[in-house]
Amino acid sequence: MILKSGQHIHINKGRLHAFRKMTLEELPNEDCHFQHRKAIIRSERLKSETLCVSLAWDWNFLGFSERGIYREVTATLESTVLNRLRGARSLAIPEFSVLEAARHFAKPISHTTTTSFLPSSNLDVPQQNPRRVLPSERDHTTVCRGILPVLRYIVTEHADAIERARKDQRGKPMKLPDTYANPYTTSIDPRGNDGFHCMTCRKELSNVYYHCDGCEKLLSKDYNICVACHVVGQFRRFTPMHPHNQKRRHATINHTGR
């Protein structure tokens, strides 16, 4: 199908699709679009590049009801689990999105606890004399109730990982996150595009992960893995880090795993 000026196509949720934007770049003869592109350029008398726009709603549709929001979020998380089992990297970041949604929609807490890195609201406790709720507040409550089961799962998993790490440290002080480092002197950019997926299974690293100090100090690179991979000792395997020397087992070149 070829879309022309003023036309559009809607791709339903979950549909496998691929598209190519129109340009004047010459394609090789064996390309499947070679004849089509040549015909369009000739019929439309194109002399300069045309503006082609694609609009993606990948995470915009959260759902309307509590159950709908819960199903949307759960389906996305389940898809990332399937991708992890196949060794594929997910494009979506659902865990981080849920955490940020909680920060945005939930009311702030009034006290500090061991797992207070997220705000909390007592949405499970029914009110005896509920007051009149404004539409904007009702929408926030609906979102909170929808994401609450998934949020509980994520926060519990992260809290357990922190407690396990504290026991492994045996009283030693835990290292501060990379975001605390001086950005003018550190070799790792904690807010860059790298390091947000597990180096071994490609799982999203939304909040809690293990970091290799050796790769940072010797290679000035991020080597981060998820809690599940750390538990089974995946950090012990050799991982190429050098773009042009990916076989040499030396800590100044690659992650040796030893």
The domain locations on the chain are 17-54, 66-121+133-169, 178-236
Q: What is the pLDDT of residues 170-221, one digit of tens each?
A: 777 777 777 777 777 777 676 666 678 898 888 999 888 888 888 888 888 8
Asked whether 154 and 98 are in contact (CB, 8 A), the reply is yes
- The dihedrals phi and psi of 165, each to the nearest 5 degrees, come to -65, -40
Nearest by Cα to 72 from 99, 98, 34, 54: 98
Question: What's the first-to-final CA gap in the chain, in angstroms?
Answer: 54
Distance between CA atoms of residues 27 and 240, nearest Å: 35
Mean pLDDT of the chain: 79
Torsion of CA 57, 59, 60, 65, to 10 degrees: 130
Residue 109's pLDDT band (cuts 50, 70, 90): low
Residue 168, sorted as left (phi over 0), alpha (psi -120 to 50) or beta, turns out to be alpha
Question: Whole-prediction pTM value?
Answer: 0.65
